[in-house]
Amino acid sequence: MDKYDVIIVGAGPAGIFSALELLEKAPELKILIVEKGKDIDKRQCPMDTQGVPCISCPECDLVSGWGGAGAFSDGKLNLSPEIGGFLSRYVDIKTLQSLIDYVDSIYVKYGAPDKLYGGDEKEISRIKDIAAKNDLTFVPSKIRHIGTDRCRDVLKRMREAVNGKVSAIFETDVQHIIVEKKKAVGIKLKDGQEIFSDYVILAPGRASAKWLETESRRLKLTLLKNPVDIGVRVEVPAPVLEPLTSITYEPKLIFYSKKFDDKVRTFCVNPYGEVVKEHIKDIWTVNGHSYAERKTNNTNFAILVSTFFTEPFDEPISYGTYIARLANFLGGSVIVQRLGDLIKGRRSTHERISKGIVEPTLKDATPGDLSFVLPYRYLSDIMEMLEALDKIAPGINSRHTLLYGVEVKFYSMQIKLTDGLETEIKNLFAIGDGAGVSRGLIQASASGVIAAREIAKRALSAK
């Protein structure tokens, strides 16, 4: 049986960047990536290729495989340390910014476009002022937009770069981490095969956050609380947000609701984009894309409410799953409702939606009533946020605005980690969205670099 220096579990951006950085810093190390999804060329969602509705593949090609959830993502690279994760808990802001710039330069090297949004300081400070006058905090960020259609090419080039230098096993689940004397020594696959290594990096992403949580509990790792983010995806005519999106591409706005004092924020803005469904395990949630070449007439974004649960409740992932399941239970999958219908206390129907001025880009969402799904607290927070946003982008709080539910972000569990992202088990590292340290491509990738540098340093000094 082969033994490796490093095994990486998961080939999303976090896992890929740890492999690229290990090759850069310690090319002599023997590295294995194990990925439960397919290699990049084999990833094909039947909804895209055959135009059929989702057939619930055992392993979803949209979120699993080389590139992870990032492969078909919108590819918006957010270059601000305040956005997209919690890495500032482990490194100071200056170091984080230089890590972000480094990771960004690698995306550009592999084909991300040169153009950066959000660089016009005068316009940015104008938006900041309008936001402040309307109870909102605007978080400026420079953004590079790869686009869903180009993401695959960038990831393909990264795959080619490691091909032949890093071993990779696809379509194979890692079931357990093997630990001996409080030190990680390898992994056990679903079929029972054991593979040994000096270091293990866990990068299983959001869709396997539950697996990582279960495995962490089994290994008695300390789990820290993160908020659970629940909300809706909002779809409006693109001109409504154009004054903001033309300047910053992704306007990040934060609001504290008056009634509950909850943190409510805009997330993942897709100018001229499409609303999409996301299949995670056995539930449907909603998300959004925008393509570099293909444009719609609408812009979509999420409004998310962050909630920290207090003792004794410590299962935010299960809570989010439960709410999403309720929407699926009532609507078959994702529910869509016109804001005007929600305010009037009635469900939306196909007929009512067809009377509206916003044509849904997600065709198979079921018209329904989100008030049967979302707890009052979330609905109230979302409505307050829409009112606040309307002051800086008039038209958002229109009766025609479409709300899709529910959007849930499953990155709520965090493992206790050192500054090098090592767990309490020696030589076991946890990175990316699944470990709760990131929420986006850039910080997921940067977390891979942090772990790789720590391992390279130690491995080289041991040789």
Ligand X SMILES: Cc1cc2nc3c(=O)[nH]c(=O)nc-3n(C[C@H](O)[C@H](O)[C@H](O)COP(=O)(O)OP(=O)(O)OC[C@H]3O[C@@H](n4cnc5c(N)ncnc54)[C@H](O)[C@@H]3O)c2cc1C
Q: Does 117 bind ligand X (CB under 6 A)?
A: no
Among 197, 208, 257, 423, binds ligand X (CB under 6 A): 208
Residue 338 and residue 352: Cα distance in Å, rounded? 8
Among 64, 296, 321, 427, binds ligand X (CB under 6 A): 64
The span of 18-26, 382-390, 400-408, 427-435 binding ligand X (CB under 6 A) equals: 427-435
The span of 110-118, 199-207, 217-225, 372-380 binding ligand X (CB under 6 A) equals: 199-207
Q: Does 244 bind ligand X (CB under 6 A)?
A: no
Residue 267 and residue 303: Cα distance in Å, rounded? 6
Shortest Å distance, C-beta 359 to ligand X: 21
- Binding-site size, ligand X (CB under 6 A): 46
Question: From the CA atom positions of the chain, what is the Rg in Å?
Answer: 22
Q: Nearer Cβ to ligand X, position 262 or 274?
A: 274
Cβ(337)–Cβ(380) under 8 Å? Answer: no
Among 203, 317, 382, 446, binds ligand X (CB under 6 A): 203
Interaction residues for ligand X, span 330-369 (CB under 6 A) = none
Q: Does 396 bind ligand X (CB under 6 A)?
A: no
Q: Print the binding letters for residues 289-328 with ligand X: x by CB under 6 A, - otherwise.
A: x---------------------------------------
Among 8, 19, 34, 305, binds ligand X (CB under 6 A): 34
Q: In this structure, how many other beta carbons lie within 10 angstroms of the beta carbon of residue 276? A: 21
Strand partners, 274: 289
Which residues fall within 8 angstroms of residue 252, CB to CB, at 6 or more apart?
83, 138, 139, 140, 141, 265, 266, 267
Q: Does 205 bind ligand X (CB under 6 A)?
A: yes
Compute CA distances 202 → 31, 288, 388, 451, whole Å: 13, 27, 40, 10
What's the CA angle centered on 438, arms 435 and 443, to 5 degrees? 130
Query: Cα 274 to the chain's mean position, in Å?
Result: 16
Compute CA distances 416 → 102, 223, 240, 328, 434, whole Å: 26, 6, 42, 33, 13
Q: Nearer Cβ to ligand X, position 144 or 347?
A: 144
Shortest Å distance, C-beta 85 to ligand X: 8
Among 5, 21, 35, 104, binds ligand X (CB under 6 A): 35
Interaction residues for ligand X, span 6-25 (CB under 6 A) = 9-15
Phi, psi (rounded to 5 degrees) for 359: -85, 120
Q: Does 231 bind ligand X (CB under 6 A)?
A: no
Residue 234 and residue 231: Cα distance in Å, rounded? 10
Among 287, 328, 348, 412, binds ligand X (CB under 6 A): 287
Q: In this structure, how many other beta carbons lie within 10 angstroms of the beta carbon of residue 192? A: 7
Which positions touch ligand X (CB under 6 A)? 9-15, 34-37, 63-65, 68-70, 73-76, 78, 84, 173-174, 203-208, 211, 268, 276, 278, 287, 289, 432-434, 438-442, 444
